[in-house]
Structure 1
Amino acid sequence: MPRSGINTTLRKSLRPVHRTIASLLPLPARRRYLYLAGHGRLPRLNDPRSFTEKINWRIVHDRRPEIAWTCDKLAMKDYAIGLHAETGLEVPETLWSGDDLGAVLGRSFDRPWVLKPNHRSGLVHFGRAFEPLSADVVGSTSTWLRDDQSVLLGEWAYSQARKLLLIEEDIAAGEPLDDYKFLVFDGEVAVIQVDRGRFTNGHARTFYTADWKPAPVADIMPVGEPSPPPENLDAMVHAAQTLGRPYDFMRVDLYSTRGKIWLGELTPYPAGGTIQYEPREFDRYLGEQWTLPSLSTVSGR
């Protein structure tokens, strides 16, 4: 079995144990432990060189105000709307937001929709147009507001996000769209990660250079087949670079559908820096693109 397959199996089977142990540790030790669980080695947090080490450095040290709002989905939307004239980027309409989903029990919407928490990632529920929001959905998502990944993982910006639920239009109308994830360093796209078939059993991932040359890279996901670039690639790169411009690093997720480019989200801590890339030289390459701020310019360390 390839090493990535072994690591994925171990990660899935041991994750509850890792998380239980990690929750007992102070933040720097916690991040070292989680990194060891994912990479099989300790990170150099005092002298980070690779991309994943620098993500963990950011988690431990960086408390700048410009990072604070980047895990709040509603704030991301406001940020993108403010740059619409420069990017042409569309933002999915928010149909409802609040802290009590029961307030819209039985309500339906005139288009497909998706329910997600405002303050964390990885939790979604899709609904059909004119499908009333059911008591089962309210019940099955009742723990979402209490699920705070900042408490366990120490990803500070999530702790700054408002604990709300939001329902927004599903721009894919129930069909999975390719998810284009642009890794932006100091306003320049270095790599594009394309996730195809997210939230399906066929989820696969492919990496490309900024000019759409396939990169022979793998992580924990199955590797997808190379595909032609989207027709509006140049416009997508421009939008991603504009949104990522204020940051030493930001991952900017976009979609392309109906002839328009749409905001997905911003991600300051991709996978918490815990997943391993193959070859490992790719992790080092991305790390070389990232110039971290000095400790004297970040607060709360």
Structure 2
Amino acid sequence: MNIKNYIRALFDSDWRFCRLAARGFYNWLPDDLYLKRLFKAKMGYELNLEDPQTFNEKLQWLKLYNRKAEYTAMVDKYEVKKLVAEKIGEEHIIPTLGVWNKFDDINFDSLPNQFVLKCTHMGVIICKDKSSFDRRKAKKQINYWMKKNNYWAGREWVYKDITPRILAETYMTDESGFELKDYKAFCFNGGCDLIDYKFMCFNGKVEYVFTCSERYSSTGLKVTFFDRNWLLQPFERHYQKSEDNIPKPKNFESMVNLAEKLAKGVPFLRVDFYECNGNVYFGELTFYPGNGFEEFSPFEYDMKLGKLIKIK
């Protein structure tokens, strides 16, 4: 620890709690007490679980009190494909190339030159050229993920009982050569700009959509919000919005319809889709975006979106 962080650890109790929590020092705390302390440290105001008002507060409430067994399969990157195919059709599913329990079981000879590796509970690695793919680096990263349980950091209980597995998918690009998926930071052969569409469903209805773009730009990821009619919204959440004009996707209305089918009966659910060569592909489902710890600017939208979640 450098001297600056040492001094901060001595005098900033919120910073100290967040650092220690990330290392598992507070795993012994019950979920409600842990979330109250972490929420205050990250958000700057007390978490009111008795009468939650803001969007971020209600996500914490849902973590604690809206626990249905089927939610776990909905966030398992392999199991969710079966559920989604049953509800909206197999044509919206990115093809699976294989599933394994450990990295050494993967038969790379059977995989195409380009493919995607995912942990069913964690992150993503892509291979654009098998001949130059760094298997040792990929193995190290995946083995690290396989040992992690996403539950502890933010008490997202839906991840606690997922069986960690490794999933291979088809690597997909559109007609311009851009990647279909948002492959985060683990693109070993470089990255390109891409957009994914995240539909915020409140009580089964799409109210807002946001896009993630410019991940590889010098200024970093941009998150831009729109309403159901694709009108640009005047707020941000944690990340700055893009200055570029982001066009409405061609299949927008179809995406809205599909998202609402998947979100039916759920107080809040984020549904991700991608467009590729005129088709709509399912990305993932997320119950607690940003773990419920990302600030809105202006703050009034934390309240405004919070009112849309009906919990009682």
TM-score normalized by the length of structure 2: 0.81
Cα distance change of structure 1 residues 149 and 199 upon mapping to structure 2, 3 Å threshold: farther
1:265 aligns with 2:266: no
Q: Does structure 2 retain, via aligned residues, the 8 Å contact 1:220–1:275? A: yes
Q: Does structure 2 retain, via aligned residues, the 8 Å contact 1:182–1:251? A: yes
Say how many residue pairs are matched.
Answer: 280
Q: Which runs of 4+ in 1 moved over 6 A?
A: 11-14
Q: Does structure 1 retain, via aligned residues, the 8 Å contact 2:117–2:167? A: yes
Q: What are the Cα deviations for residues 65-97 of structure 1, in whole angstroms up to 9, with x where unaligned?
A: 232322211122111111234xx8511111121
Q: Which amino acid aligns with 1:65?
A: A
1:16 aligns with 2:19: yes
The counterpart of 2:202, out of the listed 185, 188, 197, is 185
Cα distance change of structure 1 residues 116 and 13 upon mapping to structure 2, 3 Å threshold: farther
Shift of 1:197: 3.3
Q: Does structure 2 retain, via aligned residues, the 8 Å contact 1:104–1:133? A: no
Q: Which residue of 2 aligns with 1:72?
A: 76
Shift of 1:186: 2.0
Shift of 1:180: 0.6
Q: What are the Cα deviations for residues 177-230 of structure 1, in whole angstroms up to 9, with x where unaligned?
A: 311110011221011011013466542110000101100111222321242211
Q: Which residue of 2 aligns with 1:297?
A: none
1:92 aligns with 2:121: no
Q: Does structure 2 retain, via aligned residues, the 8 Å contact 1:195–1:206? A: yes
Q: Take 1:17 and 1:48, find their aligned partners in 2: how far apart are those partners?
A: 26
Q: Does structure 2 retain, via aligned residues, the 8 Å contact 1:22–1:152? A: no
Shift of 1:233: 0.9
Q: Which residue of 2 aligns with 1:252?
A: 271
Q: Take 2:195 and 2:26, find their aligned partners in 1: how far apart are those partners?
A: 34
Q: What are the Cα deviations for residues 138-159 of structure 1, in whole angstroms up to 9, with x where unaligned?
A: 1332111111111332211101
Calculate percent identity across the aligned residue pairs.
26
Q: Take 1:26 and 1:42, find their aligned partners in 2: how far apart are those partners?
A: 17
Q: Take 1:209 and 1:145, find their aligned partners in 2: how far apart are those partners?
A: 37
Q: Which amino acid aligns with 1:270?
A: P
Q: Does structure 1 retain, via aligned residues, the 8 Å contact 2:57–2:292? A: yes
Q: Does structure 2 retain, via aligned residues, the 8 Å contact 1:110–1:129? A: no
Cα distance change of structure 1 residues 272 and 22 upon mapping to structure 2, 3 Å threshold: farther
Gaps of 5+ in 2: 1-13, 174-178, 180-190
Q: Which amino acid aligns with 2:207?
A: A
TM-score normalized by the length of structure 1: 0.84
Shift of 1:103: 1.5
Shift of 1:53: 0.7
Shift of 1:14: 7.8
Q: Which amino acid aligns with 2:67?
A: R
Shift of 1:62: 2.1
Q: Does structure 2 retain, via aligned residues, the 8 Å contact 1:109–1:129? A: no
Q: Which residue of 1 aligns with 2:5?
A: none
Q: Does structure 2 retain, via aligned residues, the 8 Å contact 1:117–1:166? A: yes
Shift of 1:170: 2.5
Cα distance change of structure 1 residues 89 and 285 upon mapping to structure 2, 3 Å threshold: farther
Q: Does structure 1 retain, via aligned residues, the 8 Å contact 2:236–2:297? A: yes
Q: Take 2:118 and 2:137, find their aligned partners in 1: how far apart are those partners?
A: 15
Q: Which moved more, 1:105-114 or 1:138-147?
A: 105-114
What SS is found at the alignment partner of 1:143? helix
